Amino acid sequence: MNDTETGFSWKGFAALIILLLIVSIVAFIISSIEGFITGVVAVFMGFLLSFFRDDIKRMLGLSDSSSKAETPMPTKEESKQLAKLEKYVAKRREKIAKAISKFESKETPKKRRKIAQEIVELATSTIFLIDQIKSQAILLNHPQLMAHYEKISQEIEMIKARYIQYC
C-alpha cells in the first residue's frame, strides 16, 4: 500500500506519539508538584490548628475559661528556701563590701592581687546564688523580686569585671 492512497503518514504518526509523550510527562510533573504543594499546605494547616488550638476552642465557646490552671501559691518550704537564699546573698554582699574596703586600704600589689581574687570569687558565687533566687522567683511568680535581683546581679557583674583585671 501507498501512503498517499490512504492518507496515512508515518512522520505524522511519530509526531503525534512524541507530542502525546511530552504532554503526558508535563501532566505527570504538574500533578506531582500539585500533590507536593497540597501536602505542604495540609501540614502547614495542621501545624496552625495545633498551635492555635486553645484560641480556636475559646472562640468557638468549647473551652471553659475556668479550666485554666491557676498559678500555685508558694508553700512554706519554698518561701523558707527563698528567704534562706536571700540571706546568703546579703551576707555575701557584705563580705564583698568588706573585701573592697580592704583592697582600697592595702598598698602592696601582692596583697591587693590576693584580695582582688577573693572579691572575684565572692562575686562569682554571689552571682550563682542570685541566679538561683531569680529562677525561684520565676517559679513562684514574683516578677518584682526577679527584677530586683537582676539589678543586683548587674551590679555584682560590674564589680567582678572591675576587680578581675587585678588578678
Q: What is the pTM of this model?
A: 0.54
pLDDT at 96: 93
Q: Which of 81, 69, 70 is nearest to 137 (CA)?
A: 81
Over residues 121-141, the pLDDT tens digits come to: 999 999 999 999 999 888 888
* Maximal CA-CA distance, the chain: 122
Q: Is the pLDDT of residue 107 over 80?
A: no
Q: How many CB atoms lie within 10 A of CB 55?
A: 10
What residues contact residue 88 under an 8 Å CB cut-off, 6+ apart?
129
Q: Counting Cβ atoms within 10 Å, is residue 51 exposed (0-12), middle (13-18) or buried (19+)?
A: exposed
Helix (H) or strand (E) holding 85, with range, is helix 76-105
- State the pLDDT confidence band at 21, using cuts at 50, 70 and 90: very high
Among 33-47, 68-82, 87-101, 122-136, the least confident range: 68-82
> Across the chain, what does the average pLDDT equal?
86
Q: What is the mean pLDDT of residues 33-54?
A: 88
- State the pLDDT confidence band at 70, using cuts at 50, 70 and 90: low
Helix (H) or strand (E) holding 17, with range, is helix 10-51
- At residue 7, the 3 state secondary structure works out as coil
- State the pLDDT confidence band at 7, using cuts at 50, 70 and 90: confident
For the record, the C-alpha cell of 21 comes out as: 509523550
Over residues 142-154, the pLDDT tens digits come to: 889 899 999 999 9
Q: Is the pLDDT of residue 9 over 60?
A: yes
Q: Counting Cβ atoms within 10 Å, is residue 130 exposed (0-12), middle (13-18) or buried (19+)?
A: buried
What residues contact residue 136 under an 8 Å CB cut-off, 6+ apart?
78, 81, 82, 85
Domain ranges of the chain: 3-65, 76-166
- At residue 66, the 3 state secondary structure works out as helix
pLDDT at 17: 92
- Compute CA distances 156 → 46, 114, 137, whole Å: 48, 18, 19
